[in-house]
A and B are shown apart, each in its own frame.
Chain A
Amino acid sequence: MGKYIYRTVLQIVPVLFIISLIVFILVHVTGDPVNLMLPDTATPEEREILTAALGLDQPLYIQYGLYMKNLLSGDFGTSFRYNESALPIVLERLPASFELAGAAMLIAVVLAVPLGILSAVKRNSLLDLILSSISVLGKAMPNFWVGIMLILLFSVSLGMLPVSGRGTLQHLVLPAITLGTGVSVEMMRLIRSSMLEILGQDYIRTARSKGLWETVVINKHALRNALIPVVTITALQLTNLVSGALVTETVFAWPGMGQLLVQAVYTHDMAIVQAAVFVIALMVIFVNLASDIVYGLLDPRIKYR
Chain B
Amino acid sequence: MSEATLLEVRELQTEFVTEEGIIPAVNGISLHVSKGETLALVGESGCGKSITSLSILGLIAEPGRVTGGKVLLEGRNLLHLSRKEMRRVRGQEISMIFQEPMTSLNPVFTIGNQIGESVRRHLRLNRKQARAKSVEMLELVGIAHADKVVDYFPHQLSGGMRQRVMIAIALSCSPKLLIADEPTTALDVTIQAQILELIARLSKTLDTGVILITHDLGVVAEMADRVAVMYAGEIVEEASVEALFEQPLHPYTQGLLKSLPSIEGLQDELYSIPGTVPNLLDKPPGCLFAPRCPYADGLCATVRPLLEERRDQHRVRCHHACKEERL
Contact = CB atoms under 8 A, between A and B. Distances in A.
A and B bind: yes
B104 A202 contact: yes
A304 interface: yes
Interface stretch (B106-114, B131-139, B258-266): B106-114
A255 to B, nearest CB: 43
A294 interface: no
B110 to A, nearest CB: 8
A203 B86 CA distance: 19
A35 B118 CA distance: 73
Contacts of A304: 153, 155-156
B137 to A, nearest CB: 13
B125 to A, nearest CB: 14
A300 B154 CA distance: 9
B220 interface: no
Contacts of B89: 211
A216 interface: yes
A54 B91 CA distance: 75
A206 to B, nearest CB: 5
Given A210-B169, A300-B108, A304-B156, A201 B103 contact: yes
Contacts of B117: 210, 212, 216, 220
Nearest to A305: B155
B106 A206 contact: yes
Contact of B91 (A210, A221, A298): A210
Contacts of A225: 106-108
Given A202-B103, A203-B105, A206-B98, A211 B155 contact: no
B88 interface: yes
Contact of B100 (A202, A209, A300): A202
Contacts of A228: 108
Contacts of B95: 209-210
Given A202-B98, A212-B121, A207 B106 contact: yes
B121 A205 contact: no
A206 B104 contact: yes
B87 A211 contact: yes
Given A202-B100, A300-B108, A301-B107, A209 B90 contact: yes
A211 B106 contact: no
Nearest to B91: A211
A206 B88 CA distance: 15
A146 B153 CA distance: 47
Nearest to A228: B108
A209 B105 CA distance: 12
B98 A205 contact: yes
Nearest to A222: B106
Contacts of B100: 202
A213 interface: yes
A202 B59 CA distance: 12
B118 to A, nearest CB: 5
A207 B103 CA distance: 12
Interface string A254-273: 00000000000000000000
Interface string B69-98: 000000000000000001111111001101
A139 interface: no
Interface in A189-219: 201-203, 205-213, 216
A211 B88 contact: yes
B122 interface: yes
B153 A209 contact: no
Contacts of A207: 106
A224 B108 contact: yes
A209 B96 contact: yes
A208 B98 CA distance: 12
Contacts of B156: 304
A211 B103 contact: no
Contacts of B96: 209
B108 A299 contact: yes
Interface string B123-166: 00000000000000000000000000000010110000000001
Nearest to A221: B106
B66 interface: no
A300 B114 CA distance: 15
Interface string A217-240: 000110011001000000000000
B57 interface: yes
Nearest to A303: B153
Contact of A301 (B62, B104, B155): B155
Interface of B: 57, 59, 62, 86-92, 95-96, 98, 100, 103-109, 117-118, 121-122, 153, 155-156, 166, 169
**Which 10 residue pairs of A and B lie closest in terms of their CB atoms, listed nearest first?**
A211-B90, A211-B91, A210-B91, A202-B103, A203-B106, A300-B153, A211-B87, A202-B104, A209-B96, A210-B118
Given A203-B104, A221-B109, 12 more contacts: A202-B103, A206-B98, A209-B57, A211-B86, A211-B89, A211-B92, A211-B118, A212-B118, A213-B87, A225-B107, A299-B107, A300-B153
27 contacts: A124-B62, A202-B100, A202-B103, A203-B103, A203-B107, A205-B104, A206-B105, A206-B106, A206-B166, A208-B59, A210-B90, A210-B169, A211-B86, A211-B88, A211-B118, A211-B121, A211-B122, A212-B117, A220-B109, A224-B106, A224-B108, A225-B107, A299-B108, A300-B153, A301-B153, A304-B153, A304-B156
